[in-house]
Structure 1
Amino acid sequence: MGKREESQLEPEPLRTIYDVSSCYSEVRYRELIEKSGLMGIELNHLFENAIIDEHNRELYTYLMVWEPSVGGGIYIAAKKDPDNPQGNGTGKSYALHALTHRLCRMGIPCLYGRTVDFLMQLRAAYDEGSQESESRVLMRYTQVPVLLWDDLGKESFRTDWGPEKFYYVIDYRVRANKPIIISTNFDLAEIEVRFGRDNFGPAIASRLAGFCETWTLGGPDRRLGRRCVR
């Protein structure tokens, strides 16, 4: 009888393959959010958490599918009425916060900031011992892939210096076709006045009109509504 030979083949080891792409995406999202400018309660302002109603449904639906790669901008102004004559608290800032989250989830670097903070950063650049120059501040706002600017028109100007800096950032982004999303309580005609009709106001309003899709957001002041809840 022949002698049976033992198999010399080693059993193939079991292999477990892990899909870590979601882990990398989450790490990237957290990195981008940390650099985005959002802070505090703004970190909880997601489209998934928003109260959607007849006032904001159309705009929020648009923002949830908006594609930044096409360029252009979005101008979100307050829709004022007798019950809310200033257009405060309608969800304009929330829309920018939620869009910032969505862009970071997509892996797109973006910068959210209030326009008053932009001015403060520029002025601080001239303080003795400042670690940041004016040109570096301007570069941060011009070079970021997507800029989300909150409360345009709330600034206080004493000279032409401030309007000139806003014009510089807006004009640069328009020429480079870099997306800019703006929230404001003012329509473009009012922005022209606030930045000076004999100054940079007409140029700023004109560029935003040509570059941005304009939306209005109305309804009651949601902040006051929350305050009344017991």
Structure 2
Amino acid sequence: MDSEIFDKAQAILTNRRKRAESENEARIEEINKKIPQIREINDVLFNTGKQLISIISNGKGQDISEKIEQLKQYNLGAQAMSRKILAEHGYPEDYLEMHYTCPICCDRGYNGSSYCDCFKILCGKLAADELNKNSQLKLSDFESFDLTYYSGENYTTMKNILEYTRQYAETFSHQSKSILMFGETGLGKTHLSLAIANVVLKKGFSVIYDSAINILRSIEKEHFSYEHSSDMIDLVMNTDLLILDDIGTEYESQFYNATIYNIINTRINRSKPSIISTNLDLEGIARRYDRRVMSRIVSMYTCLEFRGKDVRLQNRNRI
């Protein structure tokens, strides 16, 4: 794991934990002022804790289990009374409890002797953000997709694609389907895939967007490096949404073709949605890649065929 990403994730978790503790202290202070009876109960709970420490320290081999159980039951009774009083005053019963972002690790990043899932997810999102920072993610949205460049049946087709991709982005979840966008260059595939990425990122999901050639080169570099790192392939496999732009433009090699199939197949098996765009038609994909690639795409992806005339050329003529 990249040390910079690790340090950023740790700093975020530390801030989350400090915020949770600060907010808890503020709630305790508020309740102590408004409901003195709660403060008395909290003092009792604090004293039972001190008594428990004293019993354990002075036990010296004696059977102290009965005393500990008595204190435990007394403590539970006091907690139940505290929750009841809070509810009677219009507060949630858990108002005085610590509210960590991740209740499993209490925002420490560790669950037992291993990293907590929340820490792994945070590192993945930070790494994806770092990968995307130089892309054009901020330059596209659904509102700026101009249907006036299309006419006749092409207009109807592209209007339906626009509506489908907008709905896809707005309802995106871990159960969303994968999408293949295919068709001639300049018809809006990159525009709409970036628009989806923008909405999905705002929902808090991790997204990796890049051209197929850039991602494949990064994976190749790690694979054949001295360290034989797997950071990039791990990111690609685990991000919530992977957007591979312009497959088919990469140099044709056995390693690249095998990697493309591995990415597609693994993410399908893990139920992780992907969006692939290409200037190839379905026959071109079948000729270029292993037949297994085509089989997985046709059976598991929603295939959207973009139609019309190159928007960039039309735009140039309009000027």
TM over 0.5: yes
Q: CA deviation at 1:128?
A: 6.1
More helix by share: 2
Q: Which has the larger radius of gyration?
A: 2
Q: One-letter code of the match for 1:142?
A: M
Distance, in Å, in 2 between the alignment partners of 1:119 and 1:106 is 27
Question: What secondary structure is seen at the aligned counterpart in 2 of 1:157?
Answer: coil
Distance, in Å, in 1 between the alignment partners of 2:224 and 2:255 is 16
Q: CA deviation at 1:118?
A: 1.4
Aligned ranges 1:165-204 → 2 under 5 Å: 165-195=259-289, 201-204=290-293
Gaps of 5+ in 1: 1-30, 79-86, 196-200
The CA deviation string for residues 47-71 of structure 1, in whole angstroms up to 9 with x for no partner, is 1222134252111111111133233
Quick one: which of 156, 163, 172 aligns to 1:68?
Answer: 172
Closer, same or farther in 2 for the Cα pair 1:214/1:40, shift >3 Å? closer
Q: CA deviation at 1:228?
A: 2.7
Question: What secondary structure is seen at the aligned counterpart in 2 of 1:65?
Answer: helix
Partner of 1:37: 132
Partner of 1:114: 211
Q: CA deviation at 1:125?
A: 2.2
TM-score by length of 2: 0.53
Q: CA deviation at 1:166?
A: 1.0
Count of matched residue pairs: 186
Tell me the C-alpha RMSD between the 2 structures: 2.6
Partner of 1:150: 245
Partner of 1:97: 194
TM-score by length of 1: 0.72
Closer, same or farther in 2 for the Cα pair 1:52/1:32, shift >3 Å? farther
Closer, same or farther in 2 for the Cα pair 1:41/1:118, shift >3 Å? closer
Q: CA deviation at 1:126?
A: 5.5
Higher relative contact order (CA 8 A, sep 6+): 1
Closer, same or farther in 2 for the Cα pair 1:139/1:32, shift >3 Å? closer
Distance, in Å, in 1 between the alignment partners of 2:285 and 2:232 is 23
Distance, in Å, in 2 between the alignment partners of 1:229 and 1:129 is 52
Question: What secondary structure is seen at the aligned counterpart in 2 of 1:152?
Answer: coil
Distance, in Å, in 1 between the alignment partners of 2:167 and 2:305 is 18
Q: CA deviation at 1:72?
A: 2.3
Gaps of 5+ in 2: 1-125, 149-154
Corresponding position: 1:164 with 2:258: yes
Question: What secondary structure is seen at the aligned counterpart in 2 of 1:177?
Answer: coil
CA contact (8 A) 1:72 1:174 kept: no
Q: One-letter code of the match for 2:147?
A: I
Question: What secondary structure is seen at the aligned counterpart in 2 of 1:156?
Answer: coil
Aligned ranges 1:72-87 → 2 under 5 Å: 72-78=177-183, 87=184
The CA deviation string for residues 143-175 of structure 1, in whole angstroms up to 9 with x for no partner, is 0011111111112223x2111111111110111
Distance, in Å, in 2 between the alignment partners of 1:183 and 1:206 is 16
